[in-house]
Amino acid sequence: MEIDAETALLAVLGHPVRHSLSPVMHNAGFRARGRNCCYLALDVAPEDVPAAVTGLRALGALGANVTVPHKEAVLPLMDEVSPVALAAGAVNTIVVRDGRLCGDNTDVGGFIASLAEVGFDPCGRGALLFGAGGAARGVALGLLRAGAGPIWIANRTYRRAVDLTDSLQGAARPGPDGAGAVTPLALEAVPAVAARAALVVNCTSVGLGPTAGESVWNDFACFRPGTLAVDIIYKPPVTPFLRAAASAGLPTLGGLGMLVHQAALAWEVWFGEKGPVDVFYAAARRVLGGD
Ligand code: ATR
């Protein structure tokens, strides 16, 4: 659709942001669904985040996505925050509604939707997460809301695993057989609990940037056959973490599904309808495949 005086503005705010797949996905979606919208990638320095976010309102933008490293910083700038964004402590989707900035989080639901797409229901099942940063918090929260448990948070820095576990206790509802329970774990202790997990997820940044080519965990023999190994990193499609899991015979899932589904759920926030998942996959793969 041609950009004209009616075109609504959306954007992703990040730093850096030039690598983002969101513009190609959303703009392909707008073309497919005939929406008169335009989606840009805007590189916003940390000190400019308040001005950029209030600028969305001033410009009459429809909304925005927020990506690394601003997801936590924008939360206190919102007029309203959804319960899931509040629990995650992070906003990845903003909608400007009647001049009010409303913050939401579709990463949490996007992760669970990507599991559903491959037929994995986390309800009542054990999950072992590597990492204790913002990404691990979102994944853990999604799993808890879906009824998973027990959940183990394994991290290089044990103290951070304890802190994340403590802060998730509000969302955790321990029941029989450890369902809903969250426990911190040192990396050395992973083999001792691995057999109780039906899901193992890399939520660390290992495999990205300076650690591209590395995996936070390589010995998957301690997991039961059939345990689903997930990496939320989507580039490359098969990360070293997933390669190691696959070589131990485990089924694997990359991070592209989470990216696509968080985008589809962002449409629900902006437009009240889910975005076109197939169009998003095709657009993202076109760019990733061209690397
Ligand atoms: P995010 O908010 O994206 O999750 P983060 O808060 O920087 O990012 O967290 C990065 C995660 O990757 C942390 O769990 C970090 O472990 P530490 O808490 O010990 O720093 C983990 N991580 C990063 N590099 C790592 C490495 N080389 N080995 C193991 N874990 C690593």
**Ligand 1 geometric centre to CA of 201 (Å):** 13
**Ligand 1 geometric centre to CA of 276 (Å):** 32
Q: How confident is the model at residue 217 (pLDDT cuts 50, 70, 90)?
A: very high
Q: Whose CA is nearest to atom 22 of ligand 1?
A: 204
Res 206 pLDDT > 80: yes
Best residue among 156, 165, 208, 214 to mutate for probing ligand 1, ranked by most atoms within 8 Å of CB: 156
**Which pLDDT score, from 0 to 100, does residue 260 have?**
98
Res 190 pLDDT > 60: yes
Res 177 pLDDT > 80: no
**Which tens digits make up the pLDDT trace of 89-103?**
999 999 999 999 999
Nearest partner of 207 among 183, 241, 181, 174, judged by Cα: 241
Residues 35, 71, 137, 235: which is the catalytic one? 71
Res 277 pLDDT > 90: yes
**Which pLDDT score, from 0 to 100, does residue 170 have?**
80
User: How far is Cα 289 from Cα 291, in angstroms, rounded to an integer?
Assistant: 6
Question: What is the average per-residue pLDDT within 264-287?
Answer: 98
Q: Whose CA is nearest to atom 30 of ligand 1?
A: 156
Q: Which residues line ligand 1 (CB under 6 A)?
A: 131-136, 155-157, 160, 204-206, 211, 216
**Which pLDDT score, from 0 to 100, does residue 89 have?**
94
Q: How confident is the model at residue 175 (pLDDT cuts 50, 70, 90)?
A: confident
**Which pLDDT score, from 0 to 100, does residue 178 have?**
67
User: How far is Cα 213 from Cα 227, in angstroms, rounded to an integer?
Assistant: 23
**Which pLDDT score, from 0 to 100, does residue 1 have?**
75
**Which tens digits make up the pLDDT trace of 34-60?**
999 999 999 999 999 999 999 999 999
Q: Whose CA is nearest to atom 2 of ligand 1?
A: 134
**Which pLDDT score, from 0 to 100, does residue 18 have?**
95
Res 291 pLDDT > 60: no
Counting from 1 in the atom list of ligand 1, the atom nearest the Cα of 135 is: 4
Percent of the chain clearing pLDDT 90 (strictly above): 94
- pTM over the 0.85 mark: yes
Question: What is the average per-residue pLDDT within 100-108?
Answer: 98
Q: How confident is the model at residue 290 (pLDDT cuts 50, 70, 90)?
A: low
**Which pLDDT score, from 0 to 100, does residue 171 have?**
78
**Ligand 1 geometric centre to CA of 179 (Å):** 26
Does the annotation count 71 as an active-site position?
Answer: yes
Question: What is the average per-residue pLDDT within 172-201?
Answer: 89
**Ligand 1 geometric centre to CA of 69 (Å):** 14
Q: Whose CA is nearest to atom 27 of ligand 1?
A: 206
